Amino acid sequence: MKKIITYGTFDLLHYGHINLLKRAKALGEYLIVALSTNEFNETKGKKCYFSYNERKTLLESIRFVDLVIPENNWEQKINDVHEFKIDTFVMGSDWEGKFDFLRTYCEVVYLNRTPEISTTKIKQDLGYC
């Protein structure tokens, strides 16, 4: 069974995220999402609208997603790849090249980002920033 992992905040969940998760799952049979905790997001300079548990519930309801685990820090990826016996690490193309160090441990794939949608755009279009 080919196992895939991807990482992110997924707040506010939108179709760009779904496009990523759908394509990531298509690369194997089992998709793990490492979901950034609120505390980790603070270090990323991101303020979440939904709590970790709310974002986890949303992701677990997506048919492409098989398991959601916490992403607590930048350093856990190598351990995650070993612990979950990951075959392929996937991220959107805005992260192109940033995680190539993982090629020692697994396949690394960057999928094209869905260009026209982002949480920032949603907030701007709604007049919130």
Which listed residue (2, 44, 98, 121) is catalytic? 44
Least distance (Å) between residue 2 CB and ligand C2G: 19
CA count, 13 A, side-chain hemisphere, 96: 5
Q: Which of 2, 46, 85, 98 is catalytic?
A: 46
Nearer to ligand C2G, 2 or 121 (CB): 121
**CA separation, residue 114 to residues 17, 19, 84, 94, 105 (Å):** 8, 7, 28, 10, 27
- Regarding 36 and contact with ligand C2G (CB under 6 A), the answer is yes
Residue 47 in tokens = 């303020």
Under DSSP, is residue 27 helix (H, G, I), strand (E, B) or coil? coil
User: What residues are annotated to the active site?
Assistant: 44, 46
Site of interaction with ligand C2G (CB under 6 A): 7-10, 16-17, 20, 36, 46, 71, 91-92, 94-95, 113-114, 117-118
